[in-house]
Each structure stands twice: as C-alpha cells, then as structure tokens.
Amino acid sequence: MPLDNNTVFGWALFKGVQNRNDVFCDFMFCKVNAAWTKLMNKDNPAGITIRELFPKTERQWFDILNRVCRTSKAEMHTGFHSESDNTWDTYIFVTDPTKDEVAMLFAEHINPDDPRKKANSDLFEMITEHPDDDFIIGLRDEISRQHE
C-alpha cells in the first residue's frame, strides 16, 4: 500500500457535485485517510461536502478541483486554506472520470530549509513528471480501492 494510515501525507477522495448548469459547484467527501483527520483536526467527513464542512473555503480550491475534474489533467498547487489556518502542498488528480471522482494528496507546506521538504518535493515531483510510473498508478488505485 503506497499510502497507509501512517503516512505524513493526507488524502481525500471526492465526488464532484454539479449544479443545474453542469458545473462542479461542490465536492462531497467519499473517503479520507487517518492522516487527513489528524492534519485537518476533523472527524471523517464521508458523505458531506467541502462547503458543509468548511463553508469559508477559498474559491481557488473549488476552481482547481473543478478544472481537474473537467479536464482529467492533474495539478500541483500550494495554497492557503483559511479554515485550517495552514498552507498546503497539494497534488490533485482524477481517480475515475466516469464517476466524477477526484483525489487530493496533500502535506503541510514546509520551510525550504527543513529536511522534510526534500521528501515532500521528491514525491510531488515524481507524481508530476512520471504519472505512468508503477508507484503513481498504485497510488491512484489504492485511493480508488479505499472507496469501493
């Protein structure tokens, strides 16, 4: 298992929620790992939406999730999330385009001088530069299987 519950990387699997104009207006949590609950200081949010759990979430997060869900093109993003009062390094990708499912792998944004930064950077770089690598395919499969 590439990302078990002991990982320092949190992840969440979402299902896109569309409005009447077929625009993804929110994303429902399907599954999160234990690291997500620890990093976000929240209980498992399965079955509720981002807007329900974090009503003041910045628009940038919805824009990125919407774009990734629509295009199936993965994106890396570093951004501040006011409700968790933290800056996150994220990798967002589609797990199953037929189900409008998108996953977010994230870690706390770390000062570049911190030795942990290299490990985070190396993983995100590998994910971005080698999306067909066996590890990355296994990561996507593992997150998808967690929801089945």
Question: pLDDT value at position 2?
Answer: 44
Exposed (0-12), middle (13-18) or buried (19+): which is 19, by Cβ within 10 Å?
Answer: exposed
Q: How far apart are CA 53 and CA 29, in angstroms?
A: 10
Question: pLDDT value at position 14?
Answer: 94
First CA to last CA distance, the chain: 15
Q: What is the pTM of this model?
A: 0.76
Tens of pLDDT, residue by residue over 112-131, are 666 655 666 666 666 666 55
Tens of pLDDT, residue by residue over 88-104, are 988 898 887 788 899 99
Work out the percent of the chain whose per-residue pLDDT is above 90.
35
| Mean pLDDT across 51-59 | 95
Query: Per-residue pLDDT for 4 more than 50?
Result: no
* Orientation angle between helical segments 115-129 and 134-147, nearest 10 degrees: 90
61 token code pair:
């997060």
Would you say 109 and 8 are in contact if contact means Cβ atoms under 8 Å apart? no
Please give the domain boundaries of the chain with CATH numbers for all domains.
10-147 (3.30.450.20)
Query: Per-residue pLDDT for 32 more than 70?
Result: yes
Q: How far apart are CA 105 and CA 77, in angstroms?
A: 10
Reduced DSSP (H G I as helix, E B as strand, rest coil) percent helix, strand, coil of the chain, to 5: 40, 30, 30
Q: How far apart are CA 10 and CA 33, in angstroms?
A: 6
Tell me the C-alpha to C-alpha distance, in Å, between residue 133 and each of 7, 90, 93, 123: 20, 19, 15, 12
